[in-house]
Amino acid sequence: MSEPSAFSLRSSVFRFPDFLVTILCWTWFIPGFFLFFSWRYLACALFAKEQERCFQRLNSRFFQVFFWILRSAAPSHRWEIETEVAAIRSAVIVCNHLSYLDPLLLIALFEQHRTLVKTRFFTMPVFGWIIRKSGYFPASGEGRFTRLMIRQMETMQDFLANGGNLFIFPEGTRSRDGRLGDLNQGAMKIARLCRAPIYVLQLENTNNLFIPGRFLFQTSVKNTISLKLLDRIEPDYQHHIPSATELEQQVRERYQRKTV
């Protein structure tokens, strides 16, 4: 049997911290949830007057701890989140999509929030119950999800008026090359219907920490993860209600302006 080469040994040593950090994060996701948060969700469901807001706040706190663990365990990744982003309220937020970390980061950032979730997650044990109670939208309103989608849309205007944020990744999937993909008009239609401003956010380099298609976090590279506010789009809804296509074009122009 041949001895392992120096290169393979170096690769193993280099990836071992990635393995440890990944296991640490999964430990928080599963045992950490059941030990520290499951009873909080149960108490929220039984006793909270505003269950949706309570569930959203717990989701945010849970992922705040997750990112504290991740930042502490992977210090080579710097995080820069603009204060203007954290202060956003009563808005439809659109953001580019690079990694599975992206929606978790926005949940951690905004205590009062709604978002779109793939429909298959609504059928999962425990997790499906949490996202229903949190007021999240199914990505598709077809079939048995029709009533849920209608119910959420009926309360969306009040939710936004009371300080909540709806955040959506209009590309619908993670970008593999960093370039902006096709935009779904769902967020623009909701903003138009609710007469809400649209905030355009730019995420950078989350895919360097958690690479699409890989299981392990990449912890040892030098990297800066940033979340910036590109622009605020607030049409004069009283005098002119733009179409969803017009709003989509305005959003795309903001991203194109960033890359010029």
pTM recorded for the entire structure: 0.90
Question: Looking at residue 175, what is its pLDDT?
Answer: 55
Question: Looking at residue 80, what is its pLDDT?
Answer: 98
Residue where the block lists tokens 């080469």: 5
Would residue 47 count as lying in a domain? yes
Which segments of the chain are extended strands (E)?
77-81, 91-95, 113-117, 137-138, 165-168, 198-204, 223-233
Domains contained in the chain, number: 1
Question: Looking at residue 10, what is its pLDDT?
Answer: 44
Question: Looking at residue 66, what is its pLDDT?
Answer: 98
Q: Which residues of the chain have pLDDT under 70?
A: 1-14, 172-182, 258-260
Would residue 254 count as lying in a domain? yes
User: How far is the CA of 115 from the CAs of 39, 68, 106, 120, 217, in angstroms?
Assistant: 24, 22, 10, 15, 25
Question: Looking at residue 168, what is its pLDDT?
Answer: 94
Would residue 38 count as lying in a domain? yes
Would residue 112 count as lying in a domain? yes
Question: Which two structure tokens, joined as six digits, stand for 84?
Answer: 């203007």
Task: Please give the residue range of the domain that contains residue 60.
Answer: 6-259
Would residue 215 count as lying in a domain? yes
Would residue 1 count as lying in a domain? no
